[in-house]
Amino acid sequence: MPGTRVGVLDKFMTWIKHDPKGLLWLAGLAGTGKTSIAVTLCRMLERDPDILLGGAFFCSRTTNVEARTDVRRILPTLSASLADISPRFATDLAAELKPHSGAAASKPVSDQIGPLLQRPLSALVRDARPIVFVIDALDECSNERELGELLTCLARFKCDANVKFIVTSRPETHILGSPISDRVQNEILQLHMIDTVEVTEDVRLYIEDAFSKNSLAKPWYSDADVTTLADISNGLFIFASTVVSYILDTSSVHSRTTRLQTALAAVTQSAVAMGPLDAMYEFVLTRASNATKVEREELEATQRALASILAARVPLSANMLAELLGMQVDHLRESLQRLLAVLYVPEEDGEPGLRTLHASFGDYLFGRAPHNLRIAKSLGHDVLARGCLDRMGWDDLCFNASGIRSSYDVNDPTSANRIAISLVYACLHWAHHVSNASEATELDVFIELIFLPKFLFWLEVLSVMGKIGVASGLLRIAGSTVSVISVLWR
């Protein structure tokens, strides 16, 4: 992010090169720019010949990728990244893993740290460069107990090589109670404690940079506009990013001027009472649901799509979501168009990646939004449960759905590619959405009419996908809330 906390980044570089401490914890509240700093820092480290960026791991629950919230994936990822750029490390790592056939990557974190990092790093003891690992947004990991183990391992990490860990997170209670909060052993930088004047200037630089790069033939903003936006951001980069995205999502001078003034007027009035981030979210949602411009059916379609994006278990593409919702993809894009300030929508219809730009938006939408804008957390599961069942009702869930020519081709890895990705999602995740639906028992009739007659075809798809082992677990999950599934066990 251009202009992002130049002072903070300078502090990072000084710490990496001169401080004997091995861990730096960057703590900050939601939207304060932790990920922006981590991304910018990684780019700086890659360009610095006196520092070796060993690897980076960006945790995220907005991507709906389970691996991005799995604590056990962090150390294997960092180890593999360093092995790709250091042959000496790779040789020692291979020697460590050989007796275990690579099983270290699936072990508890406390058993990973030695074979994956600590011992093979001894091969780099003569390298004068600091070896830096960056782990962003640890608070978004799903298992607090395993996260505690990781933080303990990092805080107590000992190695002859010059190794540095930089971790970022919100100051959550379970993280504050871990060894990384020990100021004697570790360096701690709290973004929300930095002088407001310094932070506001960084935000102003970011807004000015974004506007100037997207300038038009005629001027459409003033220095005073940039300063006002920076002042009401209250140090939240996500606020600045959201309002900039909203304003720049149009290409004419008139439209940008109108959006800028509308945003300034609306957010300035409510930011004092609500807080800038919530005020920005309310502004975006209110504009998207304007009754004079949006039909009720269009608003409901947008709510269903948004709730589904938040509830999806893996990142969906526009094509996948449209098929699961029973919509035309162009109609889906129209529904999401009004929310591009808070959503990431890939340009290609077949590219997975639909997500909110920041985890705090989902928190706001489910809990803090005004009642007329709030969405029930179960809505996405309601929609996707019915959507998955309807999708499995299509004709392509049938005997030999993968189109293999004979039983000899059953292990052909390309056979899975012949199954529509939306059908794969439905077959793998319907049970999870059913179990989290608001009225799961109402889905009994659809399971009986759609799923049960195609039960064997469903098993065949799982088999082709190499997922037959999850079948019983999915049935148990669904059976815990839906009575009709019990007939399968009779």
Least confident of 65-74, 108-117, 333-342: 333-342
pLDDT digits (tens, 9 = 90+) for 363-407: 889 988 888 888 999 999 999 999 999 999 999 999 988 877 655
CATH topology of domain 296-375: Arc Repressor Mutant, subunit A (1.10.10)
Contacts of 145 (CB under 8 A, 6+ apart): none
Instruction: Indicate the pLDDT class of residue 7, thresholds 50, 70 and 90.
Output: low
Q: Is the pTM of this model over 0.75?
A: no
Which residue, chain included where needed, has tokens 């009709």? 484
Rounded Cα–Cα distance for residues 15 and 9 (Å): 10
Band (2; pLDDT cuts 50, 70, 90): very low
pLDDT at 6 over 70: no
pLDDT at position 204, please? 87
Please give the structure tokens belonging to residue 423. Answer: 């059908």
pLDDT band of residue 1 (cuts 50, 70, 90) is very low
| Position 12 confidence tier, pLDDT thresholds 50, 70, 90 | confident
Give the pLDDT mean for 31-45: 85
Q: What is the C-alpha to C-alpha distance for residues 241 and 31, in angstroms, rounded to an integer? A: 9
pLDDT of 232 higher than 60: yes
Q: What is the pLDDT of residue 53?
A: 97
Instruction: Check residue 289 and give its pLDDT.
Output: 79
Give the separation between CA 68 and CA 76, rounded to whole angstroms. 13
Residue 272: pLDDT band with limits 50, 70, 90: low
Bigger pLDDT: 43 or 134? Answer: 134
Answer whether residue 150 shows pLDDT above 50.
Answer: yes
Between 20 and 409, name the one with better pLDDT.
20
pLDDT of residue 100: 65
Picking from 395, 452, 391, the residue whose alpha carbon sits closest to that of residue 427 is 391
The band of 291, judged by pLDDT with boundaries at 50, 70 and 90, is low
| Average confidence (pLDDT) over 202-210 | 85
What's the mean per-residue pLDDT of the chain? 86
Amino acid 226: pLDDT = 92
Beta bridge partners of 55: 133
pLDDT over threshold 90, residue 128? no
Q: What is the pLDDT of residues 413-436, one digit of tens each?
A: 566 778 999 999 999 999 999 999
**CATH topology (fold) of 6-193:** Rossmann fold (3.40.50)
Contact 134, 164 (CB under 8 A): no
Amino acid at 36: S
Position 94 pLDDT exceeds 60: yes
Residues linked to residue 344 through DSSP beta bridges, in sequence order:
355
- Give mean pLDDT, residues 340-353: 86
Q: How far apart are alpha carbons 477 and 435 in whole angstroms?
A: 6
Percentage of the chain exceeding pLDDT 70: 90
Q: What is the mean pLDDT of residues 163-173?
A: 90
pLDDT band at 103 (very low <50, low <70, confident <90, very high): low
Least confident of 211-225, 453-467, 475-489: 475-489
Please give the angle made by the CA atoms of 483, 489 and 490, to the nearest 5 degrees: 100
